[in-house]
């Protein structure tokens, strides 16, 4: 898409609340408008007070929705065309949908299919998958259709004028393996903005005689808070640990608060939700930290691995090779991360562990209305266990709690687990990595990549709309070796 070709582009999302997807949408708008293109953002909600609202049109039917009909979806497609055309002064030449297959709004797939049938050129950018540990979304979408065949034929539409984009190479490879054409499949990594961090470790009002490790996260289950407590148990004499926020979901708050009570019981130097009451601003906490820690077991783009370095903070913690391989391909080393914390299986009990895995598998496959593969329990345990030892990060809260109590009661037992590394980086190493990240994930590079992908979509001829069977995508995620008691249990 050359600069001299000014295009009319419509971007569509459920809402513009704070979060990663909204940041991507806003970044795309900025670079496109700066290049002279016309952009309208169609959202189910108005932007939050104080947020930028230029170029936004609100269509309430785009917001989260679990019910409806194909007639309503077709009506939504026409309403989007009217609003976009009015805002742009002409019909959109390209439609850019974000997270359309996440099934937060059951009308999206049918509306997109209708647009594609009418010959509209469409880019579907997937940030998250309903197949990836979100069975409630998946079930809602399936229930929207009158038959299984309609569901199969609508969720992932295919045609020469329909393209897909992912934010990482793993998701790209999954969609390619499922059957999306290579010519219609792209990766658009997020841009990493600079952070206005002014505070310094020497200025912090706490932890003056120890290091301070900050985990900038909302403490939902997949963030693996139990492992943060384990790090505090191991390194607590030298380091204080803290997370930023408590979960918003009441169901997750209960588990989160249990970790807070356990930290108090075991006298661990961990504070959960340190930024919740507004006393300490987020950016101050980041600036006050000596390093950032992450124990998450699942990420999308992996901003948590990169953004702290921009603020001059090294990142320690759990590696997610499926995600960080993209960074390594750009010359950004992740050598200071660990992939496992091994503990003896005998601490858990073979019968208890097998029963928990079988229960997890049954619930996971039932939630997606799928049969459990033969030998799934053995396949899962084989993936998790190495030489009689299992990774702490695949275990559910009860197992993690059991291990933490054992280690507190018997400190000598620490000799039987693999101690994760904890070593700070020099100022020179931090500066070098910061520059590599800025270069690889700059707004300029993002702009170039977005223009490349748009160019391919715009050059696509118009063809008949088909479909990718949903099961082919589901099987990429619903794999016994990829499941996890903490996320799927």
Give the residue extent of every domain in the chain: 8-191+442-470, 201-341+419-435
CB of 209 closer than 8 Å to CB of 236 = no
The pairing of strands 385-386 and 122-126 is unpaired
**What percent of the chain lies above the pLDDT cut of 90?**
85
In sign, the C-alpha dihedral spanning 69, 74, 78, 83 is positive
The sign of the torsion formed by the CA atoms of 101, 107, 110, 116 equals: negative
The span from the CA of 210 to the CA of 270, in Å, is 13
What is the overall mean pLDDT for the chain? 94
Question: Model confidence at 52, in pLDDT bands (50, 70, 90)?
Answer: confident
The beta-carbon contacts of 441-445 under 8 Å, at least 24 apart in sequence, are: 441/189, 441/190, 441/191, 441/192, 441/306, 441/330, 442/191, 442/192, 443/27, 443/30, 443/31, 443/191, 443/193, 445/191
pLDDT at position 18 is: 83
Tracing tokens 């009909």 back to the chain, one arrives at 69
Cα–Cα dist 84/21, whole Å: 20
- Report pLDDT for 148: 61
Mean pLDDT of 1-6: 67
What does the block give as tokens for 382?
């084989």
CA atoms within 13 A on the CB side of 7: 22
What confidence score (pLDDT) does residue 48 get? 85
Q: Taking 80 as the threshold, does the pLDDT of residue 28 lie above it?
A: yes
Residue 410, number of CB atoms within 10 A of its CB = 10
Gyration radius of the chain's alpha carbons: 24
pLDDT the model gives residue 487: 87
Helix, strand, coil share of the chain (percent; to 5): 45, 15, 35
The answer to whether the beta carbons of residues 8 and 87 sit under 8 Å apart is no
Average pLDDT over residues 133-143: 89
Residue 315 clears pLDDT 90, i.e. is over it:
yes
Beta-bridge partners for 317: 294, 337
Domain 201-341+419-435 CATH assignment equals 3.40.50.2000: yes
Output the CA torsion sign for 301, 302, 308, 309.
negative
User: Among all chains, which residue has been given the structure tokens 């070098």?
Assistant: 432
389: which strand partners? 344, 386
Q: What is the mean pLDDT of residues 388-407?
A: 97
CA distance 54 to 75: 25
* pLDDT for residue 341 is more than 90: yes
Residues 364 and 454: beta-carbon distance below 8 Å:
no
Mean pLDDT, range 214-228, rounded to an integer: 96
- 268-310 pLDDT per residue, tens: 999 999 999 999 999 999 999 999 999 999 999 999 999 999 9
Tokens representing 426 are 């020099």
pLDDT at 62 over 60: yes
Maximum Cα–Cα distance across the chain: 72
Do 164 and 172 form a contact (C-beta atoms < 8 A)?
no
Do residues 78 and 115 touch, judged by C-beta distance below 8 A?
no
CB count in 10 Å sphere of residue 72: 15
Backbone angles phi, psi at 440, to 5 degrees: -75, -30
Arithmetic mean of pLDDT, 83-108:
96
- Helix or strand or coil: residue 265? helix
DSSP run (H or E) holding 166: strand 162-166
Phi, psi of 183, deg, nearest 5: -70, -15
Q: Are 451 and 1 in contact (CB under 8 A)?
A: yes
pLDDT tens digits, 435-467 = 999 999 999 999 999 999 999 999 999 999 999
Fold equal for 8-191+442-470 and 201-341+419-435: yes
324 vs 146, more confident = 324
Compute the half-sphere exposure of residue 459: CA atoms within 13 Å on the CB side of its CA. Answer: 11
Q: Express as a percent the part of the chain with pLDDT over 70.
A: 98
User: What was the pLDDT predicted at 5?
Assistant: 80
- pLDDT of 147 reads 62
What residue spans of 413-469 are helical by DSSP H? 427-440, 443-459
Q: Which of 410, 360, 396 is nearest to 380 (CA)?
A: 360
- CATH architecture of the domain covering 8-191+442-470: 3-Layer(aba) Sandwich (3.40)
278-311 burial, b if ≥16 CB within 10 A, otherwise e? Answer: eebebbbbbbbbbbbbbbbbbbbbbbbbbbbbbb
Beta strands in 219-314 (DSSP E): 239-245, 270-271, 291-294
- Angle of helix 225-235 relative to helix 397-409, nearest 10 degrees, comes to 10
Q: Is the pLDDT of residue 170 over 70?
A: yes
Could you tell me the two tokens for 82?
A: 């009217």
- Residue 66, C-beta contacts closer than 8 angstroms, at least 6 positions apart: 106, 140, 144
Q: In the predicted model, is pLDDT for residue 2 greater than 60? A: no
**352, HSE (Cβ side, Cα atoms, 13 Å):** 10
Higher pLDDT, 301 or 68: 301
pLDDT at 4 over 70: no
């Amino acid at each position: 898409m050359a600069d001299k070709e000014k295009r009319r582009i419509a971007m569509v999302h459920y809402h513009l609340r704070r979060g990663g997807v909204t940041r991507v949408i806003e970044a795309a708008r900025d670079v496109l408008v700066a290049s002279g293109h016309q952009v309208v953002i169609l959202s189910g909600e108005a932007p939050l007070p104080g947020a930028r609202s230029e170029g936004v049109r609100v269509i309430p039917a785009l917001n989260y929705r679990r019910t409806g009909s194909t007639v309503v979806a077709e009506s939504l497609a026409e309403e989007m065309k009217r609003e976009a055309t009015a805002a742009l002064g002409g019909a959109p030449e390209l439609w850019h949908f974000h997270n359309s297959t996440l099934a937060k709004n059951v009308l999206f797939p049918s509306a997109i299919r209708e647009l594609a049938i009418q010959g509209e050129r469409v880019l579907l950018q997937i940030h998250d998958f309903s197949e990836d540990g979100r069975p409630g979304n998946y079930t809602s979408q399936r229930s929207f259709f009158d038959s299984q065949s309609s569901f199969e034929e609508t969720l992932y539409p295919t045609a020469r004028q329909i393209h897909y984009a992912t934010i990482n190479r793993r998701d790209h490879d999954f969609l390619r393996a499922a059957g999306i054409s290579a010519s219609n499949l792209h990766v658009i990594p997020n841009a990493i903005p600079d952070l206005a961090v002014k505070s310094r470790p020497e200025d912090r009002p706490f932890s003056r005689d120890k290091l301070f490790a900050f985990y900038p996260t909302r403490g939902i289950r997949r963030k693996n808070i139990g492992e943060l407590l384990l790090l505090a148990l191991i390194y607590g004499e030298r380091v204080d640990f803290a997370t930023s926020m408590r979960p918003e979901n009441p169901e997750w708050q209960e588990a989160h608060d249990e970790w807070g009570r356990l930290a108090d019981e075991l006298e661990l130097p961990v504070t959960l939700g340190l930024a919740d009451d507004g006393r300490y601003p987020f950016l101050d906490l980041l600036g006050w930290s000596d390093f950032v820690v992450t124990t998450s077991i699942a990420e999308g783009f992996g901003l948590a691995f990169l953004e702290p370095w921009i603020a001059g903070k090294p990142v320690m913690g759990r590696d997610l090779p499926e995600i960080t391989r993209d960074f390594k391909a750009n010359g950004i080393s992740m050598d200071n991360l660990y992939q496992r914390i091994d503990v003896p299986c005998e601490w858990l009990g073979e019968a208890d562990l097998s029963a928990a895995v079988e229960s997890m598998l049954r619930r996971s496959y039932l939630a997606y209305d799928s049969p459990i593969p033969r030998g799934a329990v053995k396949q899962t345990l084989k993936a998790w266990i190495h030489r009689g030892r299992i990774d702490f990060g695949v275990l559910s809260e009860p197992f993690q709690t059991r291990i933490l109590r054992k280690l507190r009661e018997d400190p000598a037992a620490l000799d039987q687990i693999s101690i994760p590394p904890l070593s700070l980086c020099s100022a020179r190493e931090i500066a070098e990595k910061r520059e590599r990240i800025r270069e690889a994930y700059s707004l300029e590079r993002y702009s170039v990549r977005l223009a490349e992908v748009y160019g391919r979509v715009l050059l696509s001829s118009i063809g008949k709309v088909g479909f990718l069977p949903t099961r082919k995508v589901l099987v990429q995620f619903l794999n016994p070796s990829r499941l996890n008691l903490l996320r799927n249990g």
